[in-house]
A and B are shown apart, each in its own frame.
Chain A
């Protein structure tokens, strides 16, 4: 659906050149939700803006639906942009127009017939759950409601792709949840491909199928969300995943535990969740496993369980036990403090 090939973007600020994107390649498949995560300044925003050419790449190629969009003239680019909806962190609604008009005006400007404007506006305001607020002005709405209007506005063009530029970053956690639910619904029920960027791992975790991690203008790691969560490779990815999903345990507790045995972090996924791993461990080897902390992360289609386990016993028995754990489907990671 969307392909970026060796895309780079250099900004000139006075005499300095800033490389916002360095040789970025990625592919977003039809029907999926693809997320890019990174800290601010990583180049995510520039990247997503290259997909509808709000930002023109200085190198590389961008394909949407097989079309090399950098070769399009102004008119065809405008046509293409109508197939790509976009929502923003700042909502970007007309302050002087009602909720209804915010959805209807772009359709009118696009030349959609009158009766259809009405039908579409009502349909999509209904989908985002704001039909009753049609006559309200944006200043009378909450942040979440404003984002819903922006989503309705984007959907009303009946796009194939929705770009989301930090759409939930200005919202509180509850509102973020409800907007993410809405995006999932848009993806599942309307079949719209979603490309989003965010600095919140929660967003990736909740709705994305695949994810790319960005740092300093490059994509340093990418894969399915499950892979990134269970087997992060790069330091920054680990930092992201840890910050959110691992347990905050005081360092002196770690020290005490490490003094009396070994600590392993076990990640259970799908089938492996059904294995009675710890019970087997205690039976087969001469070790005493004790659970220090645990939790479950809900991903889009499955859950991931995490356990921090302390293994006490003779060194060789503990090593055997760890080897046993590693032989199954469980992802085992030794914790060293």
Chain B
């Protein structure tokens, strides 16, 4: 055990940090892009507060198209775009763009379905009190949907961790890459097992924290 840690401790730690960086940074950008997109989906759909079917159809289709492409293909498919945005296509920096492109539409969908669950009557009650739509979105829709939104973000985060494993293909490192390079290619199963255990622990922690947080916000 001690020998294993001496030999692999630093490498695994480095992989852990890379995974956390990739997940954290992409999650942040995905939330910044995904939540407003989710709000737009809710607003512009049929019978939404700012119904605009043309806009909704375009946005809806784009999201579906992106969500149809498996991440590993998306990674290569959008290389020119990645280069344009990030200036590089390799390393942690090079993988953030495809991760966000993949995750933001997913978050938009999850947020949309969470917000659609909000009782329309409550929104109507606030409209009837002469309160503007932006205020209703923030103080009613997002407030009432916050618990399922947190659960959605938890799901998205865990999905993101899975995708970072493929980031190794563009040299971004991370735990998934470590398990693949050493555990599979060089046939050192103990490294793979260690990585799997760490990933399980991370996912468990994220899910539990997400659940606890959602429960606390639910209030009923």
Using CB atoms and an 8 Å cutoff, list the residues of chain A in contact with chain B. Answer: 52, 54, 77-82, 84-86, 88, 90, 92-97, 105-106, 109-110, 137-139, 150, 153-154, 157, 163
Decide: A96 and B128 in contact? CB cutoff 8 A.
Answer: no
**B217: chain A residues within 8 A (beta carbon):** 96
Decide: B122 and A92 in contact? CB cutoff 8 A.
Answer: yes
Decide: A94 and B122 in contact? CB cutoff 8 A.
Answer: yes
Decide: B144 and A88 in contact? CB cutoff 8 A.
Answer: no
**A150: chain B residues within 8 A (beta carbon):** 125
In the complex where A54-B124, A90-B121, A137-B219 touch, is A96 in contact with B131 (Cβ < 8 A)? no
Decide: B144 and A96 in contact? CB cutoff 8 A.
Answer: yes
Bound-state Cα–Cα, A80 to B130, Å:
7
| Size bracket, chain B contacts | 20 to 34
**B131: chain A residues within 8 A (beta carbon):** 78, 106, 109-110
Give the Cβ gap from A18 to chain B, nearest Cβ, in Å. 16
Q: Is B139 interfacial (CB-CB < 8 Å)? A: yes
Interface pairs A-B: 3 shortest CB-CB:
A81-B130, A139-B220, A92-B125
Q: Is B29 interfacial (CB-CB < 8 Å)? A: no
Partner of B129, one of A94, A96, A110, A138: A110
Bound-state Cα–Cα, A169 to B203, Å:
47
Bound-state Cα–Cα, A106 to B135, Å:
10
Bound-state Cα–Cα, A185 to B219, Å:
32
In the complex where A94-B122, A109-B135 touch, is A86 in contact with B128 (Cβ < 8 A)? yes
Task: List 11 A-B residue pairs with CB atoms under 8 Å apart, sorted by A's residue number.
Answer: A77-B130, A78-B131, A84-B128, A88-B125, A94-B122, A94-B143, A94-B144, A95-B144, A95-B220, A96-B218, A154-B129
Partner of B122, one of A93, A109, A157, A163: A93
Chain A interface SS verdict (over half): mixed
Q: Is B66 interfacial (CB-CB < 8 Å)? A: no
Bound-state Cα–Cα, A105 to B146, Å:
17
Give residues 154-211 of B contacting A (CB, 8 Å).
Answer: none
B128: nearest chain-A partner, CB-CB: A86
Q: A92-B122, A92-B124 are in contact. List 14 more A-B contacts (CB 8 A).
A: A78-B131, A80-B130, A81-B129, A93-B122, A94-B122, A94-B140, A94-B144, A95-B119, A96-B218, A97-B219, A109-B129, A109-B131, A137-B219, A138-B220
Decide: B125 and A86 in contact? CB cutoff 8 A.
Answer: yes
B131: nearest chain-A partner, CB-CB: A109
**A95: chain B residues within 8 A (beta carbon):** 119, 144, 219-220
Decide: A137 and B220 in contact? CB cutoff 8 A.
Answer: yes
Q: Is B68 interfacial (CB-CB < 8 Å)? A: no
Bound-state Cα–Cα, A108 to B218, Å:
22
Decide: B139 and A105 in contact? CB cutoff 8 A.
Answer: yes
Bound-state Cα–Cα, A268 to B80, Å:
89
Bound-state Cα–Cα, A94 to B125, Å:
10
A157: nearest chain-B partner, CB-CB: B129
Q: Is B132 interfacial (CB-CB < 8 Å)? A: yes
Decide: A90 and B119 in contact? CB cutoff 8 A.
Answer: yes
B217: nearest chain-A partner, CB-CB: A96
Decide: A92 and B119 in contact? CB cutoff 8 A.
Answer: yes
